[in-house]
Every structure is written in C-alpha cells, then in structure tokens.
C-alpha cells in the first residue's frame, strides 16, 4: 500500500512538472502558432497589407521611394523575415511583391552606409586586407547571404507574383525574376546594367532558365534594358499591361490563383520547381555568386572602380554607359 501511494505521488509530481513545462513551452513558442498573428507594422522598409477575396492574397511593398527602392541589407533582411511569416500563414495563399510608382527596385544600394536605418549594413565581411588588397572570399560570403534570401523567395511554399512598375534593374531584376510569376507595366524597364563593370549578376538573373539562350546571352553581354512589352514577347514575364491597369489586374490574377488552398498551391509549386532543381538552378545560382565576387577583379571592373573614386558614382555611370549608347547602331 505504501509503495502504491509513493508511486501515485511520483506520477502526480511528474504530471505537474509536465504541465509546467508544457505551459512554458507554449509561451516560448507561441509566435510559431498559426493563430497568433505577426506584427507587420514594425518594418522600416516594407509596407504589408492583404487584398483579394477574404484577404487571401498577401502583399509586400518595397518602400524606399527616395532611393527607388534600392535593396539595402536591412530591406532584404526584413523581406526575408516577412516571407517566413507569410509562408507559415495558411490564410495567405498567394503573395504579391511590388514597388512604388517610379520603380520596383533600382538594384542593390551602392551608396555608402549611413549606419543603422534605411541604408544600414546589417552584416559586413572583411573584403580588403591591411595592404588594401581585395579578399575574394569575404566578398563572396557577403554576397552569398543575400543570394540565400533570393533562393528562399524562389522556393518558399507560397505562389508569388512580382508586380513591376517603372525600373526593375540590376538586383531589382534579380529579385523579380525569383517570383513564380511576373506582371509588368508596358513601359517598365527590366535589365542588368551592373554587368557593365560591377561583376556579374549574383543569380545570373536566372535568364538561362527563363528565356532562350540567344536573348539571354545578348542581354547578359550588353547590360541592356528591355521594356515591359519586349519582356513579355521574349517570355521573361507573364503579362505586360497598361500602367494604369497593372495593380487591378495583378490582384485579379492573384485572386484567381488563390481559389485553391495554400497547401495545394504549394504542392503544384513544388512539382514545377523540382524540374528546375534537376536542371541545376541551385548550383548555377551559387556559381553565379562566386563569379560575381571574382568579377570585381577584372580589368574593366578595376577601371570602373577607379572612375567611381575619381568622378563619383553618377559621373562614373555616365563614363561607363556613354560608349554603349553611342554604339547601338546595329539596332537601327
């Protein structure tokens, strides 16, 4: 009898301990539960809202209009965070990513960091030694952390649509190409002028998997932009619509996709993406990032860097792009 009482007391204490542990764990992990809504109002560089039937379409707006939504590290880390939040939210079936009126994004923020804030650098790798010589792995490692955000966006378990107005160039073009679907204004400009002396594209803009080889190589070798209309013609984007219709029609497109449940759409996406994984998208994008780092150390890249130091960024861009504008007579 005494043994039975002792055993009962032990089990009671174990149950009490388990209840306390469970309560503690529930409190600790409450932000992972689907019924606890994330706080979307605390982002400095993004505006988040919901649209469509029953708010089933999540929408992320890149919001640095004073810099044409240039991709600072802080914006990209916020973007990564909100993607994870939306991926876990079953009530969101499709995600739209858009910019502001003048631009989807003008690319990576190349201006000097002002510290924490809209143009702050979250994490910096050593890229120059004590003698001023460049260190390729420091450059590459910093780039790879941003590439990882691109690839998460590409493969997350939600269908995504990029809504492109104005400029989507350089890193901005890289970002919108990672969406499942792309809708653009007819007068939008898409391309990667950074290929002219700023290395390569750290993702290859995944153009070899999106458009035909001949046009992919032409755009990569020249750094040219194409209009929204031309982008639709060559298969870079799904639709090019008049600017004043872009938002309404993108929402309608997303809402139509969102008829199906989030998990079913995720299965369809996984099925499609697996083909591109087998084609080598991960290894190809990672190699592009390696070559972007190495591409900082070519003769043309060094000449560009010298001009930035001598003339300033805007004048160096004019120095770089002038010959390209003067020698486009083959198009006429």
Tokens (6 digits) for 208: 């070899």
Share of the chain above pLDDT 70, in %: 85
CA distance 221 to 91: 43
State both tokens at 65. Answer: 């209009």
Buried b (16+ CB within 10 A) or exposed e, 78-101: bbbebbebbbebeebbbbbbbbbe
- Residue 118 is predicted with a pLDDT of 47
Bigger pLDDT: 4 vs 219: 219
Q: What confidence tier does 24 reach under pLDDT thresholds 50, 70, 90?
A: low
| Cα gap 295→87, rounded to integer Å | 34
Assign 32 a pLDDT band (cuts: 50, 70, 90): very low
pLDDT recorded at residue 9:
59
Distance in angstroms (rounded) separating the CA atoms of residues 107 and 194: 9
Measured distance CA(12)–CA(10) in Å, rounded = 5
Q: Give yes or no for residue 22 having a pLDDT over 90.
A: no
Determine the average pLDDT of the residues in 209-230.
96
Pairing of strands 159-164, 103-105: unpaired
Q: How many residues does the chain have?
A: 332
| The domain defined by 34-294 carries CATH number 3.90.226.10 | yes
Check whether 204 has a pLDDT greater than 50: yes
Lowest mean pLDDT among 151-165, 191-205, 274-288: 191-205
**What pLDDT does residue 322 have?**
87
* The predicted structure's pLDDT at residue 289: 94
C-alpha span between 60 and 135 (Å, rounded): 35
Task: Check pLDDT > 60 for residue 190.
Answer: yes
Distances, alpha carbon 7 to alpha carbons 1, 76, 271, in Å: 10, 56, 54
Judged on CB neighbours under 10 Å (0-12, 13-18, 19+), 255 is middle
Residue 216: both structure tokens together = 């992919």
CA distance 16 to 26: 15
- Where does the pLDDT of residue 134 fall: very low under 50, low under 70, confident under 90, or very high at 90 and above? confident
pLDDT at 25: 54
Q: What is the mean pLDDT of residues 229-250?
A: 98
pLDDT: is 124 or 217 the higher one?
217
Mean pLDDT of 93-100: 97
Q: Would you state the pLDDT for residue 211?
A: 96
Average pLDDT across the chain, whole number: 88
Strand segments (E) across the chain: 46-51, 57-62, 94-98, 103-105, 159-164, 167-169, 181-185, 189-191, 225-227, 239-241
DSSP state of 5: H
**Cα gap 178→167, rounded to integer Å:** 16
Q: What pLDDT, on the 0 to 100 scale, is given for residue 136?
A: 83
List Cα–Cα distances, 271 to 24, 39, 98, 102, 264, in angstroms.
Answer: 39, 32, 25, 35, 11
The angle that helices 299-311 and 313-326 make with each other, rounded to 10 degrees, is: 130
Q: Across-strand partners of 189?
A: 167, 227
Return the closest-CA partner of residue 197 out of 218, 223, 174: 223
Percent of the chain with pLDDT over 90: 67
Q: What is the mean pLDDT of residues 321-325?
A: 86
- Residue 214: its pLDDT value, please? 97
Supply the pLDDT for residue 166: 97
Backbone Cα Rg of the chain? 24
> What burial letters (b/e) apply to 204-219, b meaning 16+ CB within 10 Å?
bbbbbbbbeeebbeeb
């Amino acid at each position: 009898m005494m043994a039975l009482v002792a055993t009962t007391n032990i089990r009671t204490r174990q149950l009490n301990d388990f209840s306390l542990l469970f309560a503690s764990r529930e409190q600790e992990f409450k932000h992972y539960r689907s019924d606890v809504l994330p706080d979307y109002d605390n982002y400095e560089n993004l505006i988040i809202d919901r649209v469509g039937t029953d708010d089933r379409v999540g929408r992320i707006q890149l919001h640095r209009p004073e810099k044409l939504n240039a991709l600072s590290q802080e914006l990209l880390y916020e973007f990564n965070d909100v993607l994870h939040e939306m991926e876990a939210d079953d009530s969101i079936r499709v995600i739209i990513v858009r910019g502001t009126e003048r631009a989807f994004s003008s690319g990576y923020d190349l201006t000097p960091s002002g510290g924490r804030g809209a143009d702050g650098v979250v994490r910096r790798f050593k890229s120059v030694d004590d003698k001023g010589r460049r260190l390729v792995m420091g450059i590459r490692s910093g780039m790879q952390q941003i590439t990882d955000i691109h690839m998460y966006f590409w493969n997350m378990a939600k269908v995504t649509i990029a809504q492109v107005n104005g400029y989507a160039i350089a890193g901005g073009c890289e970002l919108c190409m990672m969406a499942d679907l792309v809708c653009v204004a007819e007068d939008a400009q898409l391309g990667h002028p950074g290929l002219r002396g700023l290395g390569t594209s750290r993702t290859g803009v995944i153009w070899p998997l999106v458009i035909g080889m001949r046009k992919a190589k032409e755009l990569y070798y020249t750094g040219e932009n194409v209009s929204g209309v031309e982008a639709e013609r060559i298969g870079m984007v799904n639709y090019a619509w008049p600017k004043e219709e872009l938002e309404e029609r993108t929402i309608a497109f997303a809402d139509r996709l969102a008829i199906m449940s989030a998990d079913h759409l995720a299965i369809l996406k996984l099925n499609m993406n697996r083909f591109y994984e087998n084609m080598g998208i991960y290894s190809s994008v990672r190699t592009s990032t390696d070559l972007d780092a190495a591409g900082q150390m070519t003769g043309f890249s060094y000449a560009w860097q010298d001009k930035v130091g001598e003339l300033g960024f805007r004048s160096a861009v004019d120095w770089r792009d002038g010959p390209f504008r003067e020698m486009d007579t083959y198009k006429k």
